[in-house]
Protein backbone atom coordinates (compact mmCIF):
# COMPACT_ATOMS: atom_id res chain seq x y z
CA UNK A 1 0.00 0.00 0.00
CA UNK A 2 1.12 3.55 -0.72
CA UNK A 3 0.84 6.71 1.30
CA UNK A 4 -1.23 9.64 0.03
CA UNK A 5 -2.00 13.18 1.11
CA UNK A 6 -5.51 14.27 0.19
CA UNK A 7 -6.85 17.82 0.41
CA UNK A 8 -10.36 18.72 -0.68
CA UNK A 9 -12.33 21.93 -0.58
CA UNK A 10 -16.08 21.95 0.02
CA UNK A 11 -18.54 24.65 -1.07
CA UNK A 12 -19.11 26.97 1.93
CA UNK A 13 -22.91 26.53 1.73
CA UNK A 14 -22.40 22.77 2.16
CA UNK A 15 -20.24 23.00 5.32
CA UNK A 16 -22.83 21.05 7.33
CA UNK A 17 -22.20 18.03 5.11
CA UNK A 18 -18.45 17.94 5.74
CA UNK A 19 -18.70 15.62 8.77
CA UNK A 20 -20.75 13.12 6.78
CA UNK A 21 -18.40 13.35 3.82
CA UNK A 22 -15.36 12.72 6.03
CA UNK A 23 -17.11 9.76 7.63
CA UNK A 24 -18.03 8.33 4.22
CA UNK A 25 -14.54 8.76 2.77
CA UNK A 26 -12.70 7.43 5.83
CA UNK A 27 -15.14 4.51 5.98
CA UNK A 28 -14.43 3.53 2.39
CA UNK A 29 -10.67 3.69 3.04
CA UNK A 30 -10.88 1.57 6.19
CA UNK A 31 -13.27 -0.94 4.61
CA UNK A 32 -10.71 -1.57 1.86
CA UNK A 33 -7.98 -2.26 4.44
CA UNK A 34 -6.44 1.21 4.33
CA UNK A 35 -5.29 3.28 7.27
CA UNK A 36 -5.81 6.96 8.09
CA UNK A 37 -2.70 8.50 9.64
CA UNK A 38 -3.88 12.11 9.92
CA UNK A 39 -7.25 13.80 9.51
CA UNK A 40 -7.61 17.57 9.92
CA UNK A 41 -10.70 19.67 9.36
CA UNK A 42 -9.36 23.17 8.80
CA UNK A 43 -12.82 24.72 8.58
CA UNK A 44 -13.86 27.65 6.41
CA UNK A 45 -10.95 29.61 5.07
CA UNK A 46 -10.38 32.40 2.58
CA UNK A 47 -9.16 31.08 -0.78
CA UNK A 48 -6.15 32.55 -2.54
CA UNK A 49 -8.27 33.31 -5.60
CA UNK A 50 -12.00 33.01 -6.36
CA UNK A 51 -13.30 29.76 -7.81
CA UNK A 52 -16.77 29.87 -9.37
CA UNK A 53 -17.27 33.31 -7.81
CA UNK A 54 -16.62 31.87 -4.33
CA UNK A 55 -14.05 33.41 -2.01
CA UNK A 56 -14.24 30.92 0.87
CA UNK A 57 -14.26 27.14 1.14
CA UNK A 58 -14.22 24.45 3.82
CA UNK A 59 -10.84 22.65 3.78
CA UNK A 60 -10.10 19.05 4.84
CA UNK A 61 -6.69 17.33 4.91
CA UNK A 62 -6.17 13.57 5.14
CA UNK A 63 -2.99 11.47 5.13
CA UNK A 64 -3.86 7.89 4.30
CA UNK A 65 -2.28 4.59 3.40
CA UNK A 66 -4.36 2.75 0.82
CA UNK A 67 -4.41 0.79 -2.41
CA UNK A 68 -4.63 2.57 -5.75
CA UNK A 69 -8.16 1.22 -6.34
CA UNK A 70 -9.40 2.99 -3.19
CA UNK A 71 -7.78 6.25 -4.29
CA UNK A 72 -9.41 5.93 -7.72
CA UNK A 73 -12.78 5.41 -6.02
CA UNK A 74 -12.20 8.48 -3.81
CA UNK A 75 -11.24 10.57 -6.81
CA UNK A 76 -14.39 9.60 -8.69
CA UNK A 77 -16.55 10.36 -5.64
CA UNK A 78 -14.90 13.80 -5.42
CA UNK A 79 -15.56 14.36 -9.12
CA UNK A 80 -19.26 13.47 -8.91
CA UNK A 81 -19.95 15.32 -5.65
CA UNK A 82 -21.10 18.86 -6.50
CA UNK A 83 -20.17 20.09 -3.01
CA UNK A 84 -16.45 19.42 -3.61
CA UNK A 85 -15.01 22.47 -5.35
CA UNK A 86 -11.41 21.23 -5.71
CA UNK A 87 -9.40 18.21 -4.62
CA UNK A 88 -5.78 17.20 -4.72
CA UNK A 89 -4.39 13.72 -4.14
CA UNK A 90 -0.61 13.46 -3.89
CA UNK A 91 1.52 10.42 -3.32
CA UNK A 92 3.76 10.69 -0.25
CA UNK A 93 6.97 8.82 0.53
CA UNK A 94 5.95 7.89 4.07
CA UNK A 95 3.17 8.31 6.60
CA UNK A 96 2.75 11.79 8.06
CA UNK A 97 1.20 11.76 11.52
CA UNK A 98 2.30 15.03 13.13
CA UNK A 99 0.00 18.07 12.92
CA UNK A 100 0.27 20.22 9.81
CA UNK A 101 1.61 23.79 10.04
CA UNK A 102 -2.02 24.99 9.79
CA UNK A 103 -3.03 23.05 12.88
CA UNK A 104 0.15 23.96 14.78
CA UNK A 105 -0.59 27.64 14.22
CA UNK A 106 -4.18 27.11 15.37
CA UNK A 107 -3.01 25.31 18.54
CA UNK A 108 -0.49 28.07 19.30
CA UNK A 109 -3.20 30.68 18.84
CA UNK A 110 -5.53 28.90 21.27
CA UNK A 111 -2.71 28.55 23.80
CA UNK A 112 -1.97 32.29 23.58
CA UNK A 113 -5.65 33.14 24.05
CA UNK A 114 -5.99 30.81 27.05
CA UNK A 115 -2.85 32.27 28.67
CA UNK A 116 -4.14 35.78 28.03
CA UNK A 117 -7.48 34.88 29.60
CA UNK A 118 -5.72 33.41 32.65
CA UNK A 119 -3.67 36.59 33.06
CA UNK A 120 -6.73 38.81 32.78
CA UNK A 121 -8.61 36.69 35.37
CA UNK A 122 -5.75 36.67 37.90
CA UNK A 123 -5.70 40.46 38.57
CA UNK A 124 -9.48 40.45 38.94
CA UNK A 125 -9.23 37.80 41.69
CA UNK A 126 -6.49 39.64 43.61
CA UNK A 127 -8.59 42.72 44.57
CA UNK A 128 -11.45 40.47 45.61
CA UNK A 129 -9.14 38.60 48.02
CA UNK A 130 -7.80 41.88 49.40
CA UNK A 131 -11.35 43.10 50.10
CA UNK A 132 -12.11 39.84 51.91
CA UNK A 133 -9.03 40.25 54.11
CA UNK A 134 -9.92 43.87 54.91
CA UNK A 135 -13.41 42.83 56.07
CA UNK A 136 -11.92 40.16 58.35
CA UNK A 137 -9.94 42.79 60.28
Residues 75 and 137 in one domain: no
Residues 16 and 43 in one domain: yes
39 is in which domain, residue-wise? 2-97
- DSSP one-letter code for 34: -
Residues 69 and 106 in one domain: no
Q: What does the pLDDT read at residue 97? A: 73
Residues 103 and 93 in one domain: no
Residues 14 and 80 in one domain: yes
Residues 74 and 44 in one domain: yes
Q: Name the domain count of the chain.
A: 2
Q: What does the pLDDT read at residue 7? A: 93
| Average pLDDT per block of 10 residues along the chain, 137 residues long | 91 88 92 90 89 91 92 92 92 78 72 74 58 55
Q: Hey, what's the torsion of the CAs at 54, 87, 73, 83, to 10 degrees?
A: -10
Residues 88 and 111 in one domain: no
- DSSP one-letter code for 50: E
Handedness of CA 117, 123, 127, 128 (dihedral sign): positive
Q: What does the pLDDT read at residue 63? A: 92
**The pTM is what?**
0.72
Residues 56 and 16 in one domain: yes
Amino acid sequence: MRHYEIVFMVHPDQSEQVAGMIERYTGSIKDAGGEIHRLEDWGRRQMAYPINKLHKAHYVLMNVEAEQSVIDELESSFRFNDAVIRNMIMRAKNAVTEPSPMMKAKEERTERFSKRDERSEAPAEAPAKAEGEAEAE
